[in-house]
């Protein structure tokens, strides 16, 4: 057997193992679900509303929500059916890496939400390894465009119009077909 054929076969086997062992969160308006233990980057005018619906589907999970400028209103979350005792709100002006790392390492928060203020691939790689180890899903809220960093496993552009969600998958490393 040639070396290239052997490498191709090993890659196929390891990819099949990693895809079959991935667990998924049931998610609204996204039949393929959201993988656990990955970084998900969200873009679009309905990303927060979609996250709220996702969190409502999993009432047992705790949420770590980190923001730069307080944009989310806890009263609005409560009115939409989220129990506020499940959510830890953190407001920071800089250095998001440390609190995110601590939240992931604690293994207490299956859902971690933060703005995407990172540009260094090494930071994404560290966060990805921590998320994978703890099976926490890290949601990064992008502002204008998606990041090209390879450790981000799922990128969703979520918009709301005509009373329906329109979800475009920009990148999907793991998972089932939509």
Does residue 174 surpass a pLDDT of 90?
no
The answer as to whether 151 is a domain residue is yes
Q: What is the pLDDT at residue 178?
A: 45
Domain contains 52: yes
Residue 136 to residue 108: CA distance in whole angstroms: 9
Task: Tell me if 96 is assigned to some domain.
Answer: yes
Q: Does residue 13 fall inside a structural domain?
A: no
- Looking up residue 112, the CATH number of its domain turns out to be 3.40.50.300
Q: How far apart are CA 68 and CA 70, in angstroms?
A: 6
Q: Which residues, including other chains, have CB under 8 Å from residue 22's CB and lie 6 or more apart?
A: 35, 36, 37, 174, 175
Residue 131: band (very low, low, confident or very high) from pLDDT cuts 50, 70, 90: very high
- What domain range includes position 118? 23-172
What b/e readout covers 44-54, taking b as 16+ CB neighbours within 10 angstroms?
Answer: bebbbebbbbb
Residue 50 lies in a domain: yes
Q: Is 105 within the bounds of a domain? A: yes
Residue 76 in domain:
yes
- Total domains in the chain come to 1
pLDDT digits (tens, 9 = 90+) for 25-53: 999 999 889 999 999 999 999 999 999 99
């Amino acid at each position: 057997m040639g070396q290239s054929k052997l490498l191709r076969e090993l890659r196929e086997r390891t990819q099949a193992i990693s895809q079959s062992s991935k667990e998924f969160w049931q998610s609204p308006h996204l039949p393929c679900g959201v993988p656990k233990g990955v970084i998900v980057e969200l873009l679009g005018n309905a990303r927060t509303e979609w996250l709220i619906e996702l969190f409502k589907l999993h009432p047992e999970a705790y949420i770590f929500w980190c923001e730069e400028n307080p944009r989310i209103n806890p009263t609005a979350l409560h009115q939409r059916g989220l129990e506020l005792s499940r959510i830890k709100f953190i407001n920071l002006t800089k250095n998001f890496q440390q609190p995110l790392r601590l939240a992931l390492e604690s293994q207490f928060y299956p859902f971690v939400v933060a703005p995407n203020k990172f540009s260094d691939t090494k930071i994404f790689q560290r966060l990805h390894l921590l998320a994978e180890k703890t099976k926490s899903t890290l949601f990064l809220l992008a502002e204008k465009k998606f990041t090209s960093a390879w450790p981000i496993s799922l990128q969703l552009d979520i918009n709301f119009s005509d009373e329906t969600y329109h979800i475009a998958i920009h990148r999907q490393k793991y998972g089932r077909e939509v």
